[in-house]
Structure 1
Amino acid sequence: MTEEKGIVREQIEGVPEGLCWLSVLSCLLLACCYVGSLYVWRSDLPRDHPAVIKRRFTSVLIVSGLSPLFVWAWREFTAVRTLSPLLALLGIRLEGFISAIVLPLLLTMVLFLGPLIQLSMDCPWSFIDGIRVVLAHFHHVIELLRFRQGTLSGIFLSAVFQFTYTALFGAYTAFIFIRTGHLMGPVLCHSFCNYMGFPAISTALEHPQRPIILSSYLLGVTLFFLLLFPLTDPSYYGVPTPVCTLTSSPSSLCFS
């Protein structure tokens, strides 16, 4: 092992050819299993029905529980050996835990500075009584078509928009996981974004305090990009991150 910028780097020998493509396909398979598990239950009820929600919770719990075994099997099959234990590769570790709880969530709240200020103005009595909108996913098209909730073109355009939004959000949370090596940060950011929903930009444009709201939107986005790398600096979070430990020549991106 060598040390650079105060961070221990782990070297991997004998990485199989085609590992990158195999890794991508494995991630895709795991994601498909997760989404597919939501539809193994046959029911005529809408997805928001309590009975359907309980069944989907069961499916997600099973898939999430089997995911570590999937990662372990992938590591054994590819013959990749790392100095970090399996739980650390999954982002479950104590080093830098407090930072992983606070900094990524703070960064995400900075991005939502405009919506937060708008929410505080419109719902001053209680933050909990504010907007409760859950992220929508592309596979919800099945439910919308099944129960005839809108026209085909309208549903498709809405799904494309939601898919783009959630894809960008997924890339962001993956970035946090790679930079911090912790699972808790992405989980908290996901929960926060689920609570906030997509920013109500059209409402902000018509808001009585529009200059203040729009300025806060701009300020939040600007600060987000300025703080994106500083607040996710791996030196705040302890040992190297999972992706970096699987490369024979760690990328400078992981340690910048």
Structure 2
Amino acid sequence: MDLDFFKAILDCLISVGICFLLSVTYLASLHIWNSPYNRDHPSTIKKRFTSVFFMLFIAPCFLYAGLNKSILEEASLLEILGLRTKGLLQAIFMPLFLTMILFLGPISMELYSGLYKLYTEESYWYRNLTNLIWIRNHIVAPFSEEFTYRSCMLPLLLQCLPPVTAVLVNPLFFGVAHFHHMQERLKFGMDVKTALKISCFQFTYTTIFGTYSAYIFYRTGHFLSIFIMHAFCNHMGFPDIMEVTTYKKSKKIIISGLFVLGFIAWCFLLKPLTEPAWYYHSPTWYNV
């Protein structure tokens, strides 16, 4: 009994250690170029695109090395990574719809300001799809981060930790990873105190988002769910609560009410809209 307990602890430490090494490898791939320019310079962005492209092939190797081989007898590596076709349509739309409900307040602000009209203009899409920063923020970063930190890490944690614990531990790797931006801020002249405040704020909201994303992946078993959801959240950005205070009283009450309504509705719909059966997700190697 004691030997089984210590073996389980050792297996868990190995899984967490592999996740840590994968996170370090991902971050190292971004900084290996030692670019003299900031992260938004076209040269830096292109080099980092190359890095994350290679990480798409390297990251699954960490998963394969750390997975219990009995799991690979029950499911293919592609299925474990969330690259499945069964339930794909639901995976594309339902988590996105759920996330849009959470952002009901910010979406209503876009409707009120008329910003939504931009999405119907061809020039808006042409300008963005030829903008490296937009492509990074809305396509490359969500794709590579979710693939590395969710598809390749979460199964390692789920094989040795209770689901709730795995979902809570996983985003810590994701949140801490964002501290690498602090080094860049210091490099280009920002004072330590300001850089630390920004990094701590980033750690907080990226960890919260990472928990949500890990939960969605755990429940749906689809990579596309979390990629699309992440891209949408990057598009919306952190809600600008202060803008609400600039509205007239009647509009302020309505928008504030929609913020609250969206959050309450999201809480009620989170579990039913991510029911694994909707997505034909019923793995036997962990309990959903």
C-alpha distance in structure 1 between counterparts of 2:58 and 2:83, whole Å? 15
AA paired with 2:188? Answer: F
* More helix by percentage: 2
Superposition TM-score, scaled by structure 2 size:
0.73
The Cα of 1:246 is off from its aligned counterpart by 2.8
The gaps in structure 2 that reach 5 residues or longer are 1-6, 125-133, 142-174
Q: What secondary structure sits across from 1:57 in the alignment?
A: helix
Does residue 246 in structure 1 map to residue 238 in structure 2? no
C-alpha contact 2:110 2:116 (8 A) present in aligned 1:
no
Bigger Cα displacement from structure 2, 34-43 vs 84-93: 34-43
Runs (4+) of structure 1 moved beyond 6 Å? Answer: none
- CA-to-aligned-CA distance 1:51-82 (integer Å, 9 cap, x gap): 1000001101111222222222222xx44334
The Cα of 1:191 is off from its aligned counterpart by 0.3
C-alpha distance in structure 1 between counterparts of 2:227 and 2:97, whole Å? 13
The alignment's C-alpha RMSD in Å is: 2.1
Does residue 198 in structure 1 map to residue 238 in structure 2? yes
The Cα of 1:164 is off from its aligned counterpart by 0.6
- CA-to-aligned-CA distance 1:206-256 (integer Å, 9 cap, x gap): 223211111110011001100010000001000324xxx334xx3xxx2xx
The Cα of 1:202 is off from its aligned counterpart by 1.2
Does residue 188 in structure 1 map to residue 228 in structure 2? yes
The Cα of 1:25 is off from its aligned counterpart by 2.1
Equivalenced residues, count: 226
Superposition TM-score, scaled by structure 1 size:
0.82
**1:158 maps to which residue?**
198
1:3-152 matched pairs, under 5 angstroms: 17=8, 18-75=10-67, 78-81=68-71, 82-124=73-115, 126-128=117-119, 137-149=178-190, 151-152=191-192
The gaps in structure 1 that reach 5 residues or longer are 1-15
AA paired with 1:122? Answer: S
C-alpha distance in structure 1 between counterparts of 2:69 and 2:57, whole Å? 23
C-alpha contact 2:14 2:66 (8 A) present in aligned 1:
no
C-alpha contact 1:96 1:237 (8 A) present in aligned 2:
yes
